[in-house]
Structure 1
């Protein structure tokens, strides 16, 4: 049997509960992973609350789009993977039907990769979604180059912190945006070349000051909302790129008509492509080896405390790093 987190109706964290279910056997081309740890993502909370673009398959819906563990069963036709291999889960075909909030999960073998050597389970659980999203947006979508000025909103969030590190690894110049000047020192310590605190300064004026008047070559935005227009004005005209990766502000955010390139990026664009996954994995392994990338964990909960983990996320007091739940 396997403990699994489910919910039968949408709502607050209290709708989540743990049940026992058969672990399931892998079919052709599938593996079963015994989960050691998984991260709690903002998308999970949106799905649970019924406010995400994807509807939950109620009742008996599940959560979780990333995790790490060891393979404990291999289906027919699977090559290159064996029982006992430590892996990262890179994508879940339908998380409300087979999400990673569980002790075991069965999924296609193509959706796991080798866990980077030397990375513990809790740190590994904090790696994939944040860093693959930041990589995909900055490298695959925006084509960030050494020397580019990269403006990163919600920089103290998990994708923002990953983007600071990835920009540094590329050789770009990361400029962090935060609503609070009190976070300036922490963001500078995290790798930002400069911090724009919007409770003290205008984002357009500050960005132009830090870029010699030109504007940012790349803007990575996790917020959306009406502030998107200001970010467009902070982007270098004609050659700049604005990529949005989140929707922390639910208010309308019409895409700007400025003379810049704009993209709406969803990580599944690349995490469902095995060729792109190999590029992402190679980039992340290189950054982990050199120390350029270092996933942070804010707080760890046990599986039976998953309701508390979601409450902690919604309180908004999360420090730098991911909320991780251990399942083993």
Structure 2
């Protein structure tokens, strides 16, 4: 019998449980997928601890990104067929489906064909990583060639993807990281500048790099005490996209700075794109084309076996990773 992973109480990684289930039978609009790899995201850890944007419902189901092979399709599904390599995209709420599973039945609208030339592990790392910054930087902010873009938590998978997308657009990615320990790796990943904000004066460094002009677009999952500093380096009518809460749910907004500079603080998540089929297709085509041309590339930090999901979640919460954490499902 196939297994899924769920949790029956709120808590740390140790609350994750393996549960045997009957093989799902897809309905007319669903796709049955034999899962080969899973991409882990910080949102899954937050949901398990009931610190996410929606309240955890017990028993809790987890997961967003899966890559695998189609085993069956409902009669209304025409865009994929049995034997296809496919991926899930995050067009659903956390907890709706047991993505952490060996066999999963998913609505057809959440399933796309896997880009050619990628392993299952690479494909499982793709879509949250790239769709999140794509929507903010490429589609919404429309970053321009030569324009500096400030990217915090830059060594995360989404931060690295933002660096790559900024380079693809001809912009200048400025990577923020807490210390200089990952500086060279960020430069190697494509950052044009790296600022270890716990070691230097962030505001002065940004002013130096930009000749005092500041940064119109900032992409941040940290918030907390960092956010007011980010606002200080933004010019007239800058946009600060906040897509996470690594320093907790509360931050301080300097209101006079926001008013005086007319800064827009915009909450962001890939759901803004994926629930619109036309916009999702444009995004997928853009990312897939760039992957095939070698202009974008998933960066994987570590691969865990499915049986070590607890350890994978512990590592996820350690903040040691550089890139994506992936789980291989045999």
- Work out whether residues 4 and 98 of structure 2, in 8 Å CA contact, stay in contact via their aligned partners in 1: no
- Work out whether residues 91 and 274 of structure 2, in 8 Å CA contact, stay in contact via their aligned partners in 1: no
Counterpart check, 1:3 vs 2:15: no
* CA shift in 2, pair 1:176/1:94, >3 Å: closer
* CA shift in 2, pair 1:302/1:255, >3 Å: same
Q: SS at 2:136's partner residue?
A: helix
Q: CA deviation at 1:316?
A: 2.6
Counterpart check, 1:44 vs 2:44: yes
Equivalence map 1:90-239=2 (5 Å): 90-91=89-90, 93-238=92-237
**TM-score normalized by structure 2?**
0.95
1:225-257 superposed Cα distances (whole Å, 9 cap, x missing partner): 12211101111223x221111110115224452
> What is the alpha-carbon distance in structure 1 between the residues aligned to residue 280 and residue 91 of structure 2?
14
1:89-138 superposed Cα distances (whole Å, 9 cap, x missing partner): 00253442413100111111111111110010111111111111111111
Q: CA deviation at 1:140?
A: 2.1
- Work out whether residues 47 and 94 of structure 2, in 8 Å CA contact, stay in contact via their aligned partners in 1: no
> What is the alpha-carbon distance in structure 2 between the residues aligned to residue 23 and residue 144 of structure 1?
46
Cα RMSD (Å): 1.4
User: Which residue of the partner structure matches residue 291 of structure 1?
Assistant: 294
User: Which residue of the partner structure matches residue 316 of structure 1?
Assistant: 319
Q: SS at 1:98's partner residue?
A: coil
> What is the alpha-carbon distance in structure 2 between the residues aligned to residue 99 and residue 236 of structure 1?
44
Aligned length: 325
> What is the alpha-carbon distance in structure 2 between the residues aligned to residue 33 and residue 106 of structure 1?
6
Equivalence map 1:253-264=2 (5 Å): 253-256=251-254, 257=258, 258-264=261-267
Q: SS at 1:175's partner residue?
A: strand
Q: CA deviation at 1:31?
A: 0.9
User: Which residue of the partner structure matches residue 30 of structure 2?
Assistant: 30
> What is the alpha-carbon distance in structure 2 between the residues aligned to residue 40 and residue 266 of structure 1?
16
**TM-score normalized by structure 1?**
0.95
User: Which residue of the partner structure matches residue 19 of structure 1?
Assistant: 19
Q: SS at 1:163's partner residue?
A: helix
Q: CA deviation at 1:210?
A: 0.9
- Work out whether residues 196 and 206 of structure 1, in 8 Å CA contact, stay in contact via their aligned partners in 2: yes
Q: CA deviation at 1:302?
A: 1.2
Q: SS at 2:183's partner residue?
A: helix
> What is the alpha-carbon distance in structure 1 between the residues aligned to residue 156 and residue 176 of structure 2?
11
Bigger shift: residues 90-99 or 17-26: 90-99
> What is the alpha-carbon distance in structure 1 between the residues aligned to residue 118 and residue 88 of structure 2?
14
1:197-216 superposed Cα distances (whole Å, 9 cap, x missing partner): 11332111111111121001
Q: CA deviation at 1:63?
A: 0.4
> What is the alpha-carbon distance in structure 1 between the residues aligned to residue 180 and residue 151 of structure 2?
15
Q: Which runs of 5+ in 1 are unaligned?
A: none
- Work out whether residues 176 and 196 of structure 2, in 8 Å CA contact, stay in contact via their aligned partners in 1: yes
Q: CA deviation at 1:169?
A: 0.6
- Work out whether residues 66 and 92 of structure 1, in 8 Å CA contact, stay in contact via their aligned partners in 2: no
- Work out whether residues 226 and 252 of structure 1, in 8 Å CA contact, stay in contact via their aligned partners in 2: no
- Work out whether residues 215 and 237 of structure 1, in 8 Å CA contact, stay in contact via their aligned partners in 2: no
1:232-291 superposed Cα distances (whole Å, 9 cap, x missing partner): 1111223x2211111101152244523223211121111222112111111111221221
- Work out whether residues 217 and 236 of structure 1, in 8 Å CA contact, stay in contact via their aligned partners in 2: yes
Query: 2:268 pairs with 265, 271, 275, which one?
Result: 265
> What is the alpha-carbon distance in structure 2 between the residues aligned to residue 134 and residue 152 of structure 1?
10
Q: SS at 2:106's partner residue?
A: strand
* CA shift in 2, pair 1:178/1:295, >3 Å: same
User: Which residue of the partner structure matches residue 279 of structure 1?
Assistant: 282
Q: CA deviation at 1:326?
A: 1.2
Q: Which runs of 5+ in 2 are unaligned?
A: none
